[in-house]
Chain A
Amino acid sequence: SQQGEEDPQALSIQEGENATMNCSYKTSINNLQWYRQNSGRGLVHLILIRSNEREKHSGRLRVTLDTSKKSSSLLITASRAADTASYFCATADYGGATNKLIFGTGTLLAVQP
């Protein structure tokens, strides 16, 4: 299976702390994307990092990509209660031959106020 795996499956932190989630995947990729899903809602795109990029920032989000290890991490700094959600990584295979994103298993983040 090409499905990515995320680690940890669940993470509980206090407001103001940083949260780090990891994603591992199996195939060569064109890009890797991170999405957030609030309870009962659809997924919302957070950030896209291309295979030739190593790090990307967006507000309080920092994403790294290590293609040699086939892994990525998402860091949320100074977390807030509103960051409570499930976070998914998704990979697009190299060349886009399969026309699809493969989603990881997700990390459930709970930020305690």
Chain B
Amino acid sequence: DTAVSQTPKYLVTQMGNDKSIKCEQNLGHDTMYWYKQDSKKFLKIMFSYNNKELIINETVPNRFSPKSPDKAHLNLHINSLELGDSAVYFCASSLRRGGTDTQYFGPGTRLTVL
């Protein structure tokens, strides 16, 4: 069974569209994250939820809105997509908050905005 899964794996869309990426973890972890990895492989955290509560909200355009319906799911909705949003988006989870635990990553969603 996949520990952290994301859908879709690939997403190709036009500028201005709205899209969502879904993430689910079956590890029983309390904390989930969204990261963005750019073309130079730089990995930057965007958001983190702990037990459905938003605990990290980095400087991200408000076109990006996370939503956690329960602690096993963390979705990312992006409005009015721009060319610069093209990247690989990773979901991750950890047992606890605080950066002291191992993080488990999903396989990534490669978003291409045309």
Contacts and interface: CB of A to CB of B under 8 A. Distances in A.
B81 interface: no
A96 B4 contact: no
Contacts of B92: 42-43
Interface residues of A, number: 25
Contacts of A35: 105
A96 B98 contact: yes
A42 B90 contact: yes
Contact of B99 (A37, A86, A101): A101
Contacts of A37: 41
A92 interface: yes
Given A42-B4, A88-B43, A101 B55 contact: no
B54 to A, nearest CB: 11
Contacts of A44: 105
Interface residues of B, number: 25
The B interface, classified by DSSP as helix, strand, loop or mixed, is strand
Nearest to A3: B42
B59 interface: no
A96 B108 contact: no
B58 to A, nearest CB: 8
B107 A41 contact: yes
B48 interface: yes
Contact of A31 (B50, B56, B97, B100): B100
Contacts of A98: 56, 99
Interface of A: 30-31, 33, 35, 37, 40-45, 48, 86, 88, 92-93, 96, 98-101, 103, 105-106, 108
